[in-house]
Amino acid sequence: MEKQDYVSAKTFLVVWAILMILTFLLVETSLSTLPMKDFLIVIMMLAQAYLVSFYFMHLRFEKLPLILSVVLGVLLTVLLLYFVIIWDGTRIVKLTS
Amino acid sequence: MQNVRKIEPIEGVHGLEEPFEMAPSAFSANRKTLMMWVFIISDALLFGSFLAAYGFERFISPTWPDRWKIFEPGYLAAMTVLLLSSSTLMAVAVESLKQGLKGRFALFYTLTIACGIVFLGMQAHEWAHFIGEGARLSSNPWGVPLFSALFFLITGFHGFHVFTGVLVLIIVGLLSLLGKASTDTVELTGMYWSFVDLVWVFIFATIYLL
């Protein structure tokens, strides 16, 4: 482990506070009837995921190739899975019904 | 540069007459950390496919139950707050151990385990409430049978990850009390615990909020 990966407790306190505010806003958005509700929820979810993975899982201190493998690997695979399943799945459902 | 391996010369072996240095890994991470990331990516893909399946069922189903008529928003927000606080406490505990502050480490580490156990209790209570409302693996009173099936599958898998996480935390805690766990081990445990929290962020938004 390298020397510079010490993080002060103050940084964690700030990250925790942002996470708490985001949780509150997420629940409030979900209960509201805002027009862009789903989009806002996804954006806030990704913001929370960024904070947890980059600060708590120390992804911030890793080298760029590792960050890209983890973030793009997981994100692109899940997006591909989701859209291929939805696109092909709805087609099959329409064929059989 | 870290992770530079020096190769010593070997007598009589062609090509190894002089010492040379291996190029550092492109990831430049410690071997254990890299393997932990491989495990975390594979686990993330497991949950990713569960959530994609949930999204698909949701997309093709003409109706979907209103979650806020079944669950209590405040209760779920409390569960999220608890798990997020737990991984913050774990991160502070790991930093304290790196700086050699043993007392602070023990305090934050114990609080982390306590938060995890309370979260498990709250999840068990939520399941009991959900089953009490009439939800079963193959049927539920809200019209879409797959809703409760996927709910039990995904939150059950996550709950078991939390349970495993608590067990690992207790074991590593006892080992470090005996002086048999290195800082690296505690840090990797912290990575797993934060990952469990990361998965909950996605489950919370996908199953309950969207």
State whether residue B23 sits within 8 Å of chain A by CB: no
Exposure of B34 in the CB half-sphere (CA atoms within 13 A): 11
Give residue A69's pLDDT. 87
In a domain, B18, yes or no: no
3 state DSSP class of B79: helix
CB contact under 8 A, A62 and B99: no
* Contacts A6 to B, Cβ<8 Å: 95, 98-99
Q: How confident is the model at residue B1 (pLDDT cuts 50, 70, 90)?
A: very low
At B46-104, the pLDDT tens digits run 999 999 889 888 888 888 888 888 889 999 999 999 999 999 999 999 999 988 889 99
At A29-71, the pLDDT tens digits run 999 888 888 899 999 999 999 999 999 888 888 888 889 988 9
Nearest to A12 among B76, B91, B184 (CB): B91
In a domain, B93, yes or no: yes
Pairs of residues, one from chain A and one from chain B, whose beta carbons lie less than 8 Å apart: 139
In a domain, B179, yes or no: yes
CATH of the domain at B169: 1.20.120.80
pTM: 0.87
Domain count, chain B: 1
Task: Mark which residues 64-123 of B lie under 8 Å from A by CB.
Answer: 68, 73, 76-77, 80-81, 84-85, 87-88, 90-92, 95, 98-99
State whether residue A80 sits within 8 Å of chain B by CB: no
Average pLDDT over residues B166-188: 92
Looking at the predicted structure, is the pLDDT value of residue B17 above 80?
A: no
In a domain, B17, yes or no: no
Q: How confident is the model at residue B141 (pLDDT cuts 50, 70, 90)?
A: confident
Helix H or strand E encompassing A71: helix A64-96
Average pLDDT over residues B23-47: 84
Give residue B174's pLDDT. 94
Q: How confident is the model at residue A2 (pLDDT cuts 50, 70, 90)?
A: very low
In a domain, B87, yes or no: yes
Give residue A1's pLDDT. 44
In a domain, B23, yes or no: no
* Contacts A34 to B, Cβ<8 Å: none
CB contact under 8 A, B28 and A57: no
Q: Where are the domains of chain A?
A: 1-61, 63-97
Q: Which domain holds residue B39?
A: 31-209
3 state DSSP class of B20: strand
Instruction: Using the CB atoms, write b or e for A66-94: b if 16+ within 10 Å.
Output: bbebbbeebeebbeebbeebbeeeeeeee
